[in-house]
Amino acid sequence: MKAIEIRGAGGPEVLHLVDWPRPQPGPENVIIRVVSASVNRPDIQQRRGLYPAPPDANPLPGLDVSGIVEEVGAEVTCVAIGDAVCALTNGGGYAEFCAVPAVQCMPIPSGCTFVEAAALPEAFFTAWNNVMWGGRLAQSEALLVQGGTSGVGMAAIQMARLLRNAIVYATAGTEEKRQICVDIGAEAAFDYRGDWDKEILELTENEGVDVILDAQAGPNTQRQLDLLKYDGRLIFIASHQGEMAEVNIRNIVRRRLSLSGSTIRPRPPAYKGLIAKALVKEVWPLIEAGKITNRIHAVMPFQDVRDAHGVLDRNEQIGKVVLAVDADLAQTTPHRNGGNS
């Protein structure tokens, strides 16, 4: 099969289209014939040498795909050959075929194309794991999403608003991006280079927010802690602005604040399967009803993967960049049995 291999650490030039052994299904896995694969920030970090794959993971990049189930393992009962699915992978999504634990597969929401479905798993798994579970967002609480037009950011804003009736604030780098945050449910959006903490405190009459979802860390950490209410939760999913931060521990203790970090990739399939079930039950109906927007920034041919990574390197994207692995099927809408319309 054709696949994208990372040769060394560096810019998009280290990505190479190569011949690669086709995977074989383990007893609890399926083989997906990949139609579309999403490009995510962890792929960029892996290419740069900053996010190595776990020892038992596929070394190829690509964390979510959509496609048609081609083979099933001997113990698989929840997915059948011919099913149209999207899935969170353990790596290996940038390929014509990908092995995935069956429990990490989800039916493609009705009305979604393969391209739209490929943009769902990584973003919504991450947002659910960190906002709903890790952040324990409760009804009518206030949430700040740093980077509101990333795939994870857009998923978090919409799920928090629709499932928890939360008051959501967001940050973004341009006026266009900030308006999109508001359009999909944020109460207000702010320039992440500005005084977003002071502006939120002013809007909330100095109360602040209950939960913050952040991928930056570094010098922003204390500012975020100061913005939290008593019993507030700061959830890190990355540390793009720096791995180290100086914080006021006494303030954390006095105000009962919680800091936590999370990554899904090393978690076992059973854990990811629980998230998949929650998404299909709680979020998929909202997507099918048109209440959750799944924004696609660009669809690029599989062989143009370097250009796709360049978009994320320059932080140009609003929503997701998706690779059309099978260009003939990528923009079609599958039936639940795997056929296309």
Highest mean predicted confidence (pLDDT) among 40-44, 262-266, 291-295, 322-326: 322-326
Q: Tell me, what's the pLDDT at 220?
A: 92
**90 and 148 belong to one structural domain:** no
Name 331's Cβ contacts closer than 8 Å, sequence gap at least 6: 113, 114, 115, 299, 324
pLDDT digits (tens, 9 = 90+) for 174-212: 999 999 999 999 999 999 999 999 999 999 999 999 999
Same structural domain, 51 and 74: yes
Query: pLDDT band for position 261 (50/70/90)?
Result: very high
| 3-state secondary structure labels for all residues of 94-144 | CECEEEEEHHHEEECCCCCCHHHHHCCHHHHHHHHHHHHHHCCCCCCCEEE
Whether 19 and 45 share a structural domain: yes
pLDDT value of residue 46 = 95
Q: pTM score, two decimals?
A: 0.93
Domain containing 180 equals 124-261
Q: Does residue 334 form part of some domain?
A: no
Side chain identity, residue 306: R
218: tokens are 């570094």
pLDDT over 60 at 134, yes or no: yes
Asked whether the predicted pLDDT for residue 109 surpasses 90, the reply is: yes
Of all residues in the chain, the percent with pLDDT exceeding 90 is 88
Q: Does the pLDDT of residue 341 top 90, yes or no?
A: no
Same domain assignment for residues 147 and 224: yes
Q: Residue 62: left (phi > 0), alpha (psi -120 to 50), or beta?
A: left
CATH code assigned at 74: 3.90.180.10
Q: Which two tokens stand for residue 171?
A: 């940050």
For residue 130, tell me if it sits in a domain: yes
Q: Look at 133-147, 153-167, 297-311, 323-337 and tell me which has the smallest mean pLDDT.
A: 323-337
With respect to residue 338, please indicate whether it lies within any of the assigned structural domains: no
The fraction of the chain above a pLDDT of 70, given in percent, is: 98
Is residue 291 scored above 90 in pLDDT?
yes
Q: How far apart are CA 253 and CA 115, in angstroms?
A: 46
> Both 237 and 147 in a single domain?
yes
Give the per-residue pLDDT at 144.
98
Whole-angstrom distance, CA of residue 170 vs CA of residue 182: 8
Band (pLDDT 50/70/90 cuts) for residue 340 is low
CATH of the domain at 175: 3.40.50.720
61 close to 87: Cβ distance less than 8 angstroms: no
Residues 245 and 303 in one domain: no
Domain stops at, among 241, 261, 281: 261
By mean pLDDT, which of 113-122, 273-282, 312-321 is the weakest? Answer: 312-321
Q: Structural domain tally of the chain?
A: 2
